[in-house]
Amino acid sequence: MFVKRYGAGSRVIFGLHGWGGDHRTFLPIARKLPTDFALHGADLPGYGRSPAPARWNVEAVVEQIVATIRRTEAEALTLVGHCSGAIFAYLAAERLGARIARLVLLDPYAYVPWYFKIFLFGEIGRRAYFASFANPVGRRITNALLSLGVKTESDMTRSFAEVDHWVTYRYLQMLGELEPKIVFRPLPCRIALIYGEHTFADVKRSIDFFARVWPEAERFELKGAAHLPLTEATEQLRSILFAETKPAPVGAGERR
């Protein structure tokens, strides 16, 4: 896996981007790293500058993530997964044990929402995906439809202008196949659940689900942010990840 390293501090954050992203997802926080931190932004297998996985299944992807993290110098690090990258972050943390000091799920989905599952209905679904994300006009329409459910001016489909769409579609298929099988279990590390105030309802439901699985998890709501908190609430997120301040977490099970 390709990993872009920022900073040289001893406190390491390892970031996994979401669907359609790459290591540049973490640039907003990488630009202002405290001196005692280092940030490793990865391209998931098949994305960006990372070669495709040995096999197109979740197991192969997680194997590569785990092997890459084991090669880092940090004995205990913070693992951050954004959007669907949160699922891969959890699966990697489950295997890495004490190597992960803190797991951060950033605006995560615990499942594939219905508005993405429609793209998994055979050939019709595949064609619908390419019409919606591989076409500039389709991306504008899709962005407008996605924006109906959130209060944001961000372009949520912008990153899809540069991706290999066969890769993004493969990831969607993998997540769809994983959903009925995955079981979330307690972990030995600290856990933080972070979400945008105006994010999708399915993300907020996922946060509630994760809070029940991990009642000890810290829970943070980013004011004014939707589904792209790295760009929409950069300073709030920095204060949580870098512990420059100690914002009060939202109580487990409480919704704002």
Predicted confidence (pLDDT) per residue in 32-80, tens digit: 899 999 999 999 999 999 999 989 999 999 999 999 999 998 878 999 9
Find the angle CA(203)-CA(85)-CA(187) to the nearest 5 degrees.
85
Domain enclosing residue 210, as ranges: 3-112+183-241
Residue 214 lies in a domain: yes
Phi/psi of residue 196, nearest 5 degrees: -80, 145
Residue 56 lies in a domain: yes
Residue 15 lies in a domain: yes
Is the pLDDT score of 152 beyond 80? no
Residue 126 lies in a domain: no
CATH number at residue 14: 3.40.50.1820
Q: How many domains does the chain have?
A: 1
pTM: 0.91
Residue 124 lies in a domain: no
Asked whether 233 and 225 are in contact (CB, 8 A), the reply is yes
CA separation for the pair 125, 131 (Å, rounded): 10
Residue 225 lies in a domain: yes
Cα 17 → chain centroid: 5
Predicted confidence (pLDDT) per residue in 13-30, tens digit: 999 999 999 999 999 999
Residue 137 lies in a domain: no
Residue 101 lies in a domain: yes
